[in-house]
Structure 1
Amino acid sequence: MIARTPVVTGLGVVSAAGIGAGNFWLGLQRDTPRFREVSLFPTDDLPNHVAGEIGPWTPGFDRVDADQLHAGRTATFALAALDEAIADAGIGGVRPDRVLVGTTVGDVADHEGPRREAMQAGSGRPGSLSLDESLRTRIARHVGGSVPTDLIVTACAAGNMALIRATQLIASGSANVVICGGAEAISRMAFVGFSRMRGMAQERCRPFSDERDGLLLGEGSAFLIVESAAHAAARDATVRATIAGYGLTCDAKHPAAPDPSGDGVARAMKSAIAAADPSEVAYVCAHGTGTPQNDAAEAAAYLQVFAEPRPPISSIKALIGHSLGAASAIEAVACALVIKHQQTIPQWGLDGASTSLGIRPATGGRDDAAQIDLVLNNAFAFGGNNTCVGLRRPEAALEATTT
């Protein structure tokens, strides 16, 4: 393995499917959608009422410092995922070179309640949360204060963008250890926006199904510890996955809708696996929001990139919803766990309905693959921002550089 190869050595995750990598993985293997009526804000004035909200009903909720949720829901989720990733990597005594946090609306969810209460009480608009309570500040303080901490706000592609930026820093020699991921809490602003766009389903998110009718929002956080292969080897770290490549394209087609041809997405996918043959991809973790346009465009790209027999594909948003800026970070952890367990994640939500999009829905297990060596993580955002990251089984990466 080349010394500057970026490798993943730690994983941490907070999601509606489960908190902690173990609970999360178990949740992904069960057809148990984690949607419920939103309790965080009123939805009586809207046609949509459910989301993948995290609470005491979530497996592993005791890992979250519930007493701190009032001080910032997004940051509290982030710190729980961050602590798990640091412990998993064993870098408690190592100062990271950079922290990269993907998000979409950041602390908005934490401002909304006080502002709504003040307006209802007729006392005017309250000031913003203090800088000491902000997402960026709380994370920076948590990892040591002097570590540069950046927010990446490329909407639903932000988690993948954080991972890509970490990859660039490691590969260029600008850093040896980078903490990257994403965090997002459900906000009424985002909920109202998607509801008014008529982009939300009523009760079930059904990616790639011919009966799909929209997305459902979720929340959570995930972080990955990315190191240079040399740095990880020097401290005898366990490598969860290597970064095989990444792709970035922009459709510049429409502010919100994807390019129906899928051409930009296909180019990003091809770039992420440029060092391999497409036939080596054993699983695709789809963006798969469950909206008619998004899933059709992603399927069109998938058909351009892969020939028969095509790799199995699934979207975990069927279970936990779309957590916006945190989504692809959570999905990157899912990809690393697919490699670890050598088992794909089934495409839940089809419920017997057909899919005429030409994809091969994952069914679980290895889906006929002799070994899961290479997986692809897709994430796309408003404005046509397309991001894809390839993750490879560490042993397979070592074999590729020594043969």
Structure 2
Amino acid sequence: MNIPVKSEFLKIMIERGFVHQITDLQNLDLQTCNTQLSGYIGFDCTASSLHVGSLIQIMMLRWFQKTGNKPIVLMGGGTTKIGDPSGKDSARPVLSIEKIEENQVSIKSIFKKFLKFGNNSNDAIMVDNSSWLENINYISFLRDFGSSFSINKLINLESVKLRLEREQNLSFLEFNYSLLQAYDFLQLNKHYGCSLQMGGSDQWGNIVTGLELIRKKTSKQAFGLTSPLLTTSSGSKMGKSANGAVWLNENELSNWDFWQYWRNTEDPDVIKFLRLFTELPLTEISKLEKLKGAEINEAKIILANEVTKLCRSEEEALRISNGAANTFNNVMTDNALPSEIISNLEIKFIEALRILKFVNSNGEARRLIKGNGAKINDIVINDENYSLSKEDFNNGHVKISSGKKKHGLLIKK
């Protein structure tokens, strides 16, 4: 996308590939040049962590603040109780209030790594939409806002239309989600001067609904900006791996596995991800773009290091990068590897693979071993009945490998 803009924020968004759609680009550019904007992105509390599919939105907020604007993180304590139908073929599971609150506390910690919170003019703030949604009187809401929403438009929202076209159930509960998201935008506009909502491309219809509500109720102009829906070159949805979701919270996914996810990026995606998920200068990324063949691995390591620095810590990125180099060079053990503590040294090899979560079942472990894909201390073991013994342990630990990329330690208690 090569669109001439003057504001630093929009230049970064466009040059790095963050933009899918924008409402009234010219006026948004003008306002971003002349004033400090407040903008928000909403995050529902459906799990105890966000996964890397949300990282593009978090980076948008980070660049927004770095260019002098004020980011608002909207926690969906209220909307999580309804469930966003966007991108879903069926209703999301209904979570208890206690679980939603627990998830929210866990998710909050992620943003402290990316944004500066405080009392300065462009310091980020975090708001929970339950503070206004919980107090809505249904009759009053319908009288005050019902006439501002067109059913004709609502049923043509992508999230609604797809369900109806596939003849999949869409509950009235979920149908209300777009109305509540629009109401969120109105509340943030009134109380925090928020004039920009950002989000993924699947939120476009909801965002536009909010813009229209603000215009009808306040006569003010607000803006929307969406990022593209990211998939890998092989067509996989961003944030998913063979072993499940790639979580941002360390207690949901080890630093080693997080680093490895980025290190294993498909070749055609490396440069795109460097632009989106790191703060490396574009001139430096352009140099990496010229790497060919096996040299691309250098760019993958830089990607893994830079993303791990942002999401976990610089120390962890360095430790794991060095540990990965040691593993590649067949150094027997390294503290950077994921590890599990065991009390019994004499355990089945199959059990060892399961303890380290390299396989999900005994059958999968047997197939891996028979196929020469499992190793103990870098030596292939193809006996599915093999049991580890004290001879396998070196200074109280043993290295277990699955294929070329998964390695872990079992440590004697």
TM-score normalised by length of structure 2:
0.23
> Which structure shows the higher helix fraction?
2
> Which structure shows the higher strand fraction?
1
TM-score normalised by length of structure 1:
0.23
